[in-house]
Amino acid sequence: MPTRAQMEKMAAAVGRKMPPARGLAPNDDLPPEYWQALLADARADEANPVARASGRALRLNEIPKHLLRVSCRRCGRTVEIQKADAVRLYGQIAIWRDVGQRLLDNTCTIRTGRHEEDGCWPSFE
């Protein structure tokens, strides 16, 4: 650990080389570098190969499995539905992530009354 004198010396050296960066005010626009980094992130596009490979972003008519299963990471419940029944109830073009969330929410037992805390946390299998 550096001594206090060494830390003050390093702080003075850094302060001379670089002017202090100006912070953003609440109504300032974010810099373009921020938006580029955000858009370049793999999670920004829902149709990315990682999300599609997991099956969450697939439509019901694109899923090859016969039995669909979603479980809750919060309460441990598991809901299974046949693909034919899911298509009959929600339509062929329904997205599996939305259908699974709806299936869990329809039978959710953890209700606190606060929107932020209510509901299940789906895990698609």
Ordered by start, the domain boundaries in the chain are 46-124
Sheet containing strand 67-72, edge to edge, reads 78-82, 67-72, 122-124
Alpha-carbon distance of 40 to 38, in angstroms, equals: 5
What tokens appear for 48 in the block?
């990315």
Q: For residue 122, what is the DSSP state? A: E
Does the predicted model carry a pTM greater than 0.75?
no
Digitized pLDDT (tens) for each residue of the chain, 125 residues in all: 889 888 888 877 775 655 556 677 778 888 888 888 877 776 665 545 544 445 667 889 888 889 999 888 877 888 899 999 999 999 999 998 899 888 888 777 666 666 666 667 778 77
